[in-house]
Structure 1
Amino acid sequence: MANSTTRLNALLLVMLLTLAAWAGRAFYLQAYDAQANAAMAANRMTYTKTLVAQRGTISDRNGVVMASSEQAVKIVADPIMISRNGIDTRVEMTPGQKKRAATAARDISVVLAKYLGGSEADYLPVLSDLGRKHYVVVKSQVPAWTYEQIRRDLAAANDGIGLHGLAKEDDPIRTYPAGDVAANVIGFMNSAGEGAGGLEYSLEASLAGTDGKESYATSANGRIPLANTTLVPAVDGTSYTLTLDTEMQLMANQALAAGVTRAGAKNGTAIVMNVKTGELLALSTTPGFDSNDPAGADPANLGNRAVSAPYEPGSVEKVLTMAALADQGLVTADTRVEVPSRVVSGDGKIKDAFEHGTLHLTARGVIANSSNIGTVLLTRQMNKQKLRQYLLDFGLGKKTGLGLPGESAGWLPPASLADYSRDQISFGQGLSVTAVQEASAIAAVANGGLYNAPTLVKATVDGDGKAVPVEKAEPRRVISAAASAQVLDMMESVVMLKKSRSIPNYRMAGKTGTAQRVDPQCSCYRGYTASFVGVAPVEDPQLLVYVVVDQPTRGTDGSTLALPVAQQIMSLALPRYGVLPSTTKPTERPLTYVP
């Protein structure tokens, strides 16, 4: 009896101690750490879902979509759920449930292979990886309709009992309907879904928008219907309308590619610009790539050489030199200059591309014949620093702010430039420019002396569909309208030099360029850059076309390699934009004089 009493007392003591421990623990949880434990419990029951923002579209000036996002999903799996075919881990499975669960991973693999391609073996290891527990990505960027077909097949399996353990998350696909037409402008996306080139990269923050999130309470059986829900809506990205015209871009691409092939050149650039506004209608570089497949391209072709690859412009630069001289009242189209066969400059001598004795040329004749010597002699009338300042005012030596990544500022010699540097830059050597810089500067000469910064963005709309103002620099005057007219007179003589250079029904002014190319690998001149710039119609210039052919192997002259390409593009562009034919004919004006 004593033993029984002792045992009973011991049992009661253990029970009292146990109850005291439970009470103490309950008191601690509720009195001292209630908030922390409540938060922990809530977190364990809360599921947060990312609401992916819709990326903005990029369209051309006519509304043609160049980049857009299509609805797609990321398929994710819960290997533990698959291993039990959806049966809660706290529930004892029946023999039938165990049988179905044993083949669930393989059965799901068969369905995935049917719609996603590949074989069962490609998916089975992922679905069976219990070490990944509740989350593993099966495949990203699956079209929404494809996932819906997978879901239906899984739901209908096992006579309607279904196959469980797959889910989806938003994962849009970026598509480029224009393909390679303007890829070097539009850019592309990387595997992380971020812009990695072109405007996709430089406008990433505004295009991407801001993801939202939804948080709600869950249990082992899924979402708790009446529990608290927190919703932060996604803010969709901004959409952009560009100044580009995809059809004009395509025509420029084709003409440029053919010209580069004929020249056996390494690459080329073609620009079509609205002279009055600075809007870029086409910005073509070749070779390029397809924005839908950047991985299949040569990495050297993924950028945009029109803004990132500076070069010495050669004789096209004489247009800007003459503009500065004319604005200072030092030159008119009829100014006379005696041109010897050589002229001393620094420790060397400057010559022309063609051999000659003493020539008697007008400034018009200097431009028509592209005389380096004549340009140098006329330029020596101007203060060196003043000439450099004109070039700065024309936008050289600094970035245009076009908005494309990797833009170069080019290079101008410092204000303390030597006399021989002044001589060199007057005819396009000893400085470097980008194609967009040079095109914009010459457009200013043609536009009555008013410079417009080049632009690619015409309009923007935010994620709510509201228009967003587009910032644009105000036009600035660089030279007078009278000086502009004098230079256009000189430039028209270049086209008039040969009838084959003209465009039917339109008066065109232009300038050829043939420059020795600086090779950065040897810091020396190696190869050539051929170019031509044209503006039309001369009476009231509306359009500019600038073509640069880099490192040709079948010739060197801009007049034979670049001019025909620019001529073809201009002949297509003028009627396309409703530019009326010229009502006057060009007048033959003197290129030479008799002393």
Structure 2
Amino acid sequence: MIRLEGAVYPWRFRIVLVLLGLMVCAIAWRIVDLQVIDREFLQGQGDARSVRHMPIPAHRGLITDRNGEPLAVSTPVITLWINPQELAAVESRWPELANAVGQNPADLSARLRANKDREFLYLARGLIPEQGQQVLDLKIPGVYGVEEFRRFYPAGEVTAQVVGFTDVDDHGREGVELAFDQWLAGVPGKRQVLKDRRGRMIKDVQVTKNAKPGKTLALSIDLRLQYMAHRELRNALIENGAKAGSLVIMDVKTGEVLAMVNQPTYNPNNRSNLDPQAMRNRALIDVFEPGSTVKPLSMSAALQSGRWKPSDTVDVWPGSLRIGRYTIKDVSKTEGRTLDLTGILINSSNVGMSKVAFDIGGETIYKLMQQLGLGQDTGLGFPGERLGNLPNHRKWPQAETATLSYGYGLSVTAVQLVHAYAVLANNGRSVPMTMTRADVQPAGAQVMSEDVAKTMQGMLQQVIEAPRGVFRAQVPGYHVSGKSGTARKNSVGSKGYRENAYRSLFAGFAPSSNPRYAMLVVIDEPSKAGYYGGLVSAPVFSRVMSSVLRLMNVAPDNLPEVPEPAPAPAPAQAAVQQPVSGGRI
């Protein structure tokens, strides 16, 4: 007789039934848990495969001049990207796509084959919206577009080195764009969309985070002055066959830089053939020996020491001075054996300036130059700005004392030098320089005696207006003050100076009766008519300062006196005929 196993061992059958029941209960509980209790998990997993967050681009902040004129704006563009895996299925349309974006069909085909395993590849960036939409309208599988912003610079090459530019990802790379990148950069937003497994958008759900545009930045630059200074500097380089040049205009009361131009320059809107040398903001990056333009600073140190007054005289005969193995020479013949302090500046006498420096010592000159900002950080925060070098010695030898007094042995930037002249023009008060518009006039600090500064203003006025002065710097209708300078250029990689290589400089301010604006002109390696600062740079100062004073509505202080009209003669009285006594009628 045969018996069933289940009948022999009934407990095994019951165990199997219990296990099957537990499994059913576990499955049922998991279904309830996922669908009711922990439903967010499945929703999250589903959303991860269909819901996407697309970035909403945010444009950079507007850069304007002090009057609101745009210097840098963001314009919408379309960037095209492709999925090579999807494009592999429509190889016949590759030539059509290449022609639409202006690329060589063979190059595009080779690129697609080399990246056939990738899912993302840029096709073209920064297309104007119309051009990008034309490509998208072809409906080629695997071709997609995304909206971005690209920087445009309305002033072009005129403000190129000041404003700078951004890269293809809209990040600042030069100039103000880099220095204020965090201020100008916008914060992208997010848009929630539904996409299928091929990445095609099915539905635009909602905006989860609004884009935040960058902040507007108002510079201190006056675009009118910038255009005018750019034109005059460019013409000066052509007329003198010069290599390069810089020009800086500063408001002496507020410390604002009103114009900063450099030559050569470039077009930031088209950088396809960009020369890296043209990108340099020479006014902030190039350092040089300032030559005779620092003599007014050394003379100010002498006046402030109390040991000298303007009427004191110095024996400069015979126009040379031997110090050890060095000989100091005057470039031009002076008016006589002795010169007063103003005469030393007018004749630009190295011998006279050196003898004054020997009396007061190099340390006195060094301290004043340091207080005026030479060799110091200007605080502009401009990328790549250099500090120059203001040498200091524990014990000042005569040679170093002399060279410092007339502008050799130290190196400065154009903005440092124009700031030093602005302190002289502002009655000895130093205000911080700024590249942004100053809505409140800063207090500044008194770094020089007010009496000394005013005395120096008058002496520098005579440097231009005296019979032997720099007459080419005169501005019709205005009294101006300033000093020319000519400095030999150092040899690169060796000691000494180059032959026939000079920098021509002129620094000054106007109007002398109430100084408002300081200016520095630097012409690098003029090669035609001459190289002296009074011959090359002074005429540029005259033309630019004349336009500045008129554009800024500064009242003239040197108009010729109009003679009073002579009084009109009294009208003759009509004769009255009187009857003759006793006469006949």
Judge same fold: TM > 0.5, yes or no: yes
Q: Alpha carbons of 1:131 and 1:486: their partners in 2 closer, same or farther (altered >3 Å)?
A: same
Q: Out of 509, 515, 520, which is 1:541 matched to?
A: 515
Residue equivalent to 2:403: 424
Residue equivalent to 2:122: 137
Q: Alpha carbons of 1:230 and 1:174: their partners in 2 closer, same or farther (altered >3 Å)?
A: closer
Q: Out of 63, 78, 81, which is 2:68 matched to?
A: 63
Q: Out of 49, 54, 58, which is 1:49 matched to?
A: 54
TM-score (norm 2): 0.82
Residue equivalent to 1:578: 553
Residue equivalent to 2:153: 176
How high is the sequence identity, in percent, across the aligned residues? 29
Q: Out of 433, 449, 465, which is 1:480 matched to?
A: 449
**Conserved 8 A contact 1:78-1:127:** no
Q: Out of 516, 522, 532, which is 2:506 matched to?
A: 532
Residue equivalent to 2:5: none
**Conserved 8 A contact 1:267-1:286:** yes
Counterpart CA distance in 2 for 1:128 and 1:521 is 50
Q: Which amino acid aligns with 1:368?
A: I
Query: Equivalent residue of 2:249, what SS?
Result: strand
Counterpart CA distance in 2 for 1:559 and 1:483 is 25
**Conserved 8 A contact 2:361-2:396:** no
Query: Equivalent residue of 2:190, what SS?
Result: strand
**Conserved 8 A contact 1:76-1:137:** yes
Query: Equivalent residue of 1:294, what SS?
Result: coil
Q: Alpha carbons of 1:383 and 1:113: their partners in 2 closer, same or farther (altered >3 Å)?
A: same
**Conserved 8 A contact 1:188-1:200:** yes
Q: How far did residue 483 of structure 1 move? A: 0.7
How do residues 55-454 of structure 1 correspond to structure 2 at under 5 angstroms? Answer: 55-79=60-84, 106=92, 110=96, 113-114=99-100, 116-118=101-103, 131-132=116-117, 134-151=119-136, 153-154=137-138, 164-220=141-197, 231-340=208-317, 341-355=319-333, 359-416=337-394, 418-420=396-398, 421-454=400-433
Query: Equivalent residue of 2:287, what SS?
Result: coil
Q: Which amino acid aligns with 1:536?
A: A
Query: Equivalent residue of 1:516, what SS?
Result: strand
Q: How far did residue 534 of structure 1 move? A: 2.2
Q: How far did residue 258 of structure 1 move? A: 1.8
Counterpart CA distance in 2 for 1:403 and 1:223 is 45
Query: Equivalent residue of 1:454, what SS?
Result: coil
Query: Equivalent residue of 2:360, what SS?
Result: coil
Q: How far did residue 202 of structure 1 move? A: 1.6
**Conserved 8 A contact 1:200-1:207:** yes
Counterpart CA distance in 2 for 1:45 and 1:472 is 58
Counterpart CA distance in 2 for 1:539 and 1:500 is 20
Could you tell which deviates more after superposition, 506-515 or 141-150? 141-150
Deviations along 1:562-587, whole A, 9 cap, x unmatched?
1111111111111011011015779x
Counterpart CA distance in 1 for 2:203 and 2:480 is 73
Q: How far did residue 261 of structure 1 move? A: 2.3
Q: Alpha carbons of 1:380 and 1:216: their partners in 2 closer, same or farther (altered >3 Å)?
A: same
Residue equivalent to 2:567: none
Counterpart CA distance in 1 for 2:165 and 2:551 is 29
Counterpart CA distance in 2 for 1:520 and 1:26 is 84
Could you tell which deviates more after superposition, 179-188 or 200-209? 200-209
Could you tell which deviates more after superposition, 123-132 or 321-330? 123-132
Q: Alpha carbons of 1:262 and 1:29: their partners in 2 closer, same or farther (altered >3 Å)?
A: farther
Query: Equivalent residue of 1:387, what SS?
Result: helix
Deviations along 1:343-376, whole A, 9 cap, x unmatched?
2335422111125696211111000000111111
Counterpart CA distance in 2 for 1:273 and 1:266 is 24
Residue equivalent to 1:466: none
Counterpart CA distance in 1 for 2:241 and 2:25 is 88
**Conserved 8 A contact 2:193-2:204:** no
Q: How many residues align?
A: 533
Q: Alpha carbons of 1:548 and 1:297: their partners in 2 closer, same or farther (altered >3 Å)?
A: same
Q: Alpha carbons of 1:362 and 1:287: their partners in 2 closer, same or farther (altered >3 Å)?
A: same
Counterpart CA distance in 1 for 2:70 and 2:475 is 32
Q: How far did residue 211 of structure 1 move? A: 2.4
Q: Out of 474, 491, 513, which is 1:519 matched to?
A: 491
- Could you tell me which runs of 5 or more consecutive residues in structure 1 were left unpaired when the two chains were aligned: 1-12, 84-101, 155-161, 460-469, 587-595
Deviations along 1:280-312, whole A, 9 cap, x unmatched?
111111011111123422212212110111100
**Conserved 8 A contact 2:479-2:558:** no
Counterpart CA distance in 1 for 2:25 and 2:104 is 56
Counterpart CA distance in 1 for 2:406 and 2:148 is 54
Q: Alpha carbons of 1:28 and 1:529: their partners in 2 closer, same or farther (altered >3 Å)?
A: farther
Q: Which amino acid aligns with 1:506?
A: Y
Deviations along 1:484-542, whole A, 9 cap, x unmatched?
12111221122113544422111111101011222232232112211011211110111
Deviations along 1:397-443, whole A, 9 cap, x unmatched?
11212232111111011242522322211111111100000000011
Counterpart CA distance in 2 for 1:22 and 1:517 is 93
**Conserved 8 A contact 1:313-1:428:** yes
TM-score (norm 1): 0.80
Query: Equivalent residue of 2:157, what SS?
Result: coil
Deviations along 1:238-285, whole A, 9 cap, x unmatched?
221111122211211121122122222221111122122221111111
How do residues 500-515 of structure 1 correspond to structure 2 at under 5 angstroms? Answer: 500-515=472-487
Q: How far did residue 76 of structure 1 move? A: 2.4
Q: Alpha carbons of 1:29 and 1:394: their partners in 2 closer, same or farther (altered >3 Å)?
A: farther
Counterpart CA distance in 1 for 2:174 and 2:374 is 25
Q: Alpha carbons of 1:472 and 1:346: their partners in 2 closer, same or farther (altered >3 Å)?
A: farther
Structure 1 residue 492 and structure 2 residue 461: aligned? Answer: yes
**Conserved 8 A contact 1:106-1:120:** no
